[in-house]
Chain A
Amino acid sequence: MSANGWAISAHGLTKHYGKLVAVDHVDLSVPGGTIFGLLGPNGAGKTTIIKLLTGLSAITEGSATVAGYDITADPMHVKQRVGWVAAEVILDDDLSGWENLWLQAKLQRLSDWKPRALQLLGYFELTDRRKDKVGTYSTGMRKKMEIALALLHQPEVIFMDEPTIGLDANVRRMLWDLITGVNKQFGVTILLTSHYIEEADMLCDRVAIIDHGKFVATGTPSELKSRVKADYIELETSESVTSERLAAIPGVSNVRSQGNAWILKVASAEEALPALFHALKTDGIRRINVEKPSLESVFIDLTGKRLDQTGSDVQDYRKFYMNVRRSRQ
Chain B
Amino acid sequence: MSTATRSLTLGATIARSKDGYVGQFSQFSGLYVRELLRTFRNPFVIVITLVQPFMWLAFFGGIFSTLPTAELDTFLLHAPPGTGYLSFLLPGVLSTGMMSIGMFGAMSTIQDKRFGFMKRILITPTSKATVYLAKALGSATRGLVQIPVMIAAATAFGVTLHGGPLGWAAWIVGLTCLGLGFSALFLAITASSTDWQTPGVVSNFITMPLMFASGAMFPASIYPGWMRAIADVNPVGFSANLARSVLTYGQFTGTDLTYLGYLALFAVVMIGIGTLLASKYLKVE
Contacts and interface: CB of A to CB of B under 8 A. Distances in A.
B116 interface: yes
B14 A116 contact: yes
Contacts of B126: 79, 107
A285 interface: no
A123 B5 contact: yes
Interface string A105-122: 111111111011001101
B27 A107 contact: yes
Contacts of A90: 115-117, 119-120
Contacts of A54: 123
A227 B19 CA distance: 48
A100 B111 CA distance: 17
B63 interface: no
Given A109-B23, A112-B14, A103 B30 contact: yes
A80 interface: yes
A94 interface: yes
A108 B125 contact: yes
B38 A92 contact: yes
Contacts of A185: 6, 8-9
Interface in B1-49: 1, 5-6, 8-11, 13-17, 19, 23, 26-27, 29-31, 33-34, 37-38, 41-42
Contacts of B283: 328
A181 B29 CA distance: 34
B38 A153 contact: no
Nearest to A188: B10
B123 A56 contact: yes
B273 interface: no
B30 A102 contact: yes
B34 A76 contact: no
Interface string A47-88: 000000011110000000000000000001101101010101
A116 B11 contact: yes
B10 A103 contact: no
A95 B37 contact: yes
A94 B29 contact: no
A104 interface: yes
A125 interface: yes
A154 interface: yes
A86 B116 contact: yes
A174 to B, nearest CB: 9
Contact of A92 (B1, B8, B15, B34): B34
Contact of A99 (B6, B15, B37): B37
Interface residues of B, number: 38
B37 A123 contact: no
Interface in A263-284: none
Contact of B10 (A79, A84, A110, A154): A154
A120 B41 CA distance: 26
Contact of B19 (A76, A102, A113): A76
B115 A109 contact: no
A103 B14 contact: no
Contact of B6 (A84, A105, A108, A181): A181
A113 B10 CA distance: 13
Contacts of B29: 106
A186 interface: yes
A119 B41 CA distance: 28
A56 B119 contact: yes
A56 B30 contact: no
A293 interface: no
Contacts of B37: 94-95, 99
A55 B125 CA distance: 10
Given A79-B124, A106-B26, A116-B14, A123 B8 contact: yes
Contact of B16 (A103, A110, A122): A110
B122 interface: yes
- Of A82, A103, A104, A186, most buried by chain B (CB within 10 Å of CB) is A103
Nearest to B115: A90
14 contacts: A56-B123, A57-B284, A76-B125, A79-B124, A86-B119, A94-B38, A107-B31, A112-B14, A115-B11, A123-B1, A123-B6, A154-B13, A186-B8, A328-B283
Given A90-B117, A116-B14, A120-B8, 19 more contacts: A55-B122, A55-B123, A57-B284, A76-B125, A80-B16, A82-B123, A84-B119, A86-B116, A94-B37, A94-B41, A103-B34, A106-B29, A109-B17, A110-B16, A112-B14, A113-B14, A115-B11, A122-B5, A125-B1
4 residue pairs, one from A and one from B, having the closest CB atoms:
A106-B30, A107-B124, A90-B116, A109-B26
